[in-house]
Amino acid sequence: METMNSAFQYCDQLVRDFEKVITEPVLNKSSVYYTGVDLGTAYIVLAVLDENYQPVAGAYRFANVVKDGMVVDYIGAIRIVKELKQELEQKLGAELTYAAAALPPGTFTLDSGAIKHVVQGAGFEITNLLDEPTAANAVLKIKDGAIVDVGGGTTGIAILKDGKVIYVADEPTGGTHFSLVIAGAYKLSFDDADQYKRDFKNHKELIPVLRPVIEKVSSIISRHIREYQVKEIYLVGGTCCLDGMENIIAKQTNLPTYKPQNPIFVTPLGIALNCTQEIL
C-alpha cells in the first residue's frame, strides 16, 4: 500500500522542499528562524523554517546518543546539536535562536528535562516540547487513524480522532532490532548490518529476513489499536524507509497502511512547525 497521494500532497511537497534545502539552503533573510531538533536513536536531524514556516535549511548526522528513546550521552548529544546548529548558521549567515524538540510518547516524565537540557546546552532557546507522533501530524494533517513512528529504538503509536490525539504508546522495538537480525543472518557486525539496511538496493532481499521483526511491529500496533476504531495506519520514522514494510503491516493488521515519500524527515519538520518565539 504505497503513498495515498491526495493525503500526502502537503507532506510530500514539504519533504521534497526540505531535501532540496539540505544541499542548497535558501539564503533570503528571514525576520526569524524556527528550528526543529529531532534527537533520534540513529540520526539527529535539524530542520530550519523561515518566518512563513517554509524550509530554508537542514542538516542531519548519524549518532548513538539516544537509546530506546532516552538520551544516554548528554555531552555527545549537546556537541552534535551545537555543531549542526553552527554549520547551519554559517550557511544561512544568521543566528538560530528558537527551537522545538520532541520525545517518544509516554516518556515525558522520564526524559523531557534531558531533551530540554540538550537543546538549551547547544545554545537554543526552547519554545516547545511535544510528543513525536503529534509533531508528525503537523505535517501529515490526519483527522482519524493511527500514526506509527518506527524509529531506531522504539515504535511510537498515536491514535487520532477528529484531528486530536486520544491515545499514545511507545514500545522498544525499532531499527536497532532490524539491524541485530541482519547482523545475525549475514554474520556482520552491528554497524555493517546497519549500513547494509540503509542501502535501498538491499531492501528486496532483506524483506524475508526482516519479516519476523516487521510482524512483531505489526502485533504491537494491533495490540494498541484494538480498543479503538482505527481504519487506517500512517507510517513515519527512519526505519519505515524499508521498502515494502508497509505491505506486511497492512496484511498483518488488516488495515490500509500508508507512508509518505521520505518518512525520516516528517517528524523533524513537524517539530519545526511547532516552534514559536515563546520561550518555555
- Match 548529544 to its residue by C-alpha cell: 77
| Residue 194 resides in a domain | yes
- The pLDDT confidence band at residue 1, using thresholds 50, 70 and 90, is very low
Cβ(192)–Cβ(142) under 8 Å?
no
| Residue 96 resides in a domain | yes
Q: Is the pLDDT of residue 2 over 90?
A: no
Cβ(57)–Cβ(36) under 8 Å?
no
- pLDDT tens string 102-127: 988 776 666 678 899 999 999 999 99
> Where is pLDDT greater, at 2 or 41?
41
- pLDDT tens string 10-59: 999 999 999 999 999 999 999 999 999 999 878 899 999 999 999 999 99
Q: Which domain holds residue 55?
A: 5-136+265-273
What ranges make up the beta strands (E) of 5-103?
A: 34-39, 43-49, 55-62, 66-67, 70-71, 98-103
State the CB neighbour count (10 A cutoff) for residue 199: 9
155 and 111 share one domain: no
Strands 233-236 and 257-258: parallel
Q: What is the mean pLDDT of residues 86-99?
A: 97
Helix, strand or coil for residue 25? coil
pLDDT at 3: 44
| Residue 280 resides in a domain | no
Lowest mean pLDDT among 25-39, 148-162, 218-232: 148-162
Sequence-ordered list of residues with C-beta below 8 angstroms from that of 191, at least 6 positions apart, any chain:
none
| Residue 278 resides in a domain | no
Beta bridge pairs of residue 234: 147, 258
Q: What is the mean pLDDT of residues 204-223?
A: 96
- How many alpha carbons fall within 13 Å on the CB side of residue 275? 35
CA angle 6, 7, 12 (to 5 degrees): 90
Q: What is the CATH number of the domain that holds 164?
A: 3.30.420.40
